[in-house]
Amino acid sequence: MGLSIVHGIIENHSGFITVDSVVEQGSTFQIYLPIIEKAENKPELFPAGKNSPKKRTDSVCR
């Protein structure tokens, strides 16, 4: 996905993106989304267990 598409998606969800860039070392993009309270009687999208998404902490550098 292009950055402009990602930016649009994040803004549509009331979030924002920050970027830190160092010449010849790469850039780090951080995405911030608001926390929402869990609705009652609504099933979890990813119930706890082996199919839960993993937190990613990796970086992409060129």
Q: Answer whether residue 42 is part of any domain.
A: yes
Residue 24 lies in a domain: yes
Q: What is the per-residue pLDDT for 23?
A: 95
Query: What is the predicted pLDDT for the residue at 36?
Result: 79
Structure tokens at 6: 């990602």
Residue 7 belongs to a domain: yes
Round the CA-based radius of gyration of the chain to a whole number and report it: 15
Is 0.85 surpassed by the pTM of this model? Answer: no
Q: Is 61 within the bounds of a domain?
A: no
Residue 15: what pLDDT? Answer: 93
Q: Is 19 among the domain residues?
A: yes
Read off the pLDDT of residues 16-54 as tens digits, 9 standing for 90 and up: 999 999 999 999 999 999 987 776 766 666 666 655 555
pLDDT level of residue 2 (50, 70, 90 thresholds): confident
The answer to whether 40 and 52 are in contact (CB under 8 A) is no
Tracing tokens 């609504």 back to the chain, one arrives at 42
Q: Within a domain: residue 34?
A: yes
CA 20 to each of CA 17, 25, 28: distance values in angstroms, whole numbers, following the listed order: 10, 11, 5
Q: How many folded domains does the chain comprise?
A: 1
Domain span holding position 35: 1-52
Look at residue 61 and tell me whether its pLDDT is greater than 70: no
Q: What angle do CA 42, 47, 6 make, to 5 degrees?
A: 85
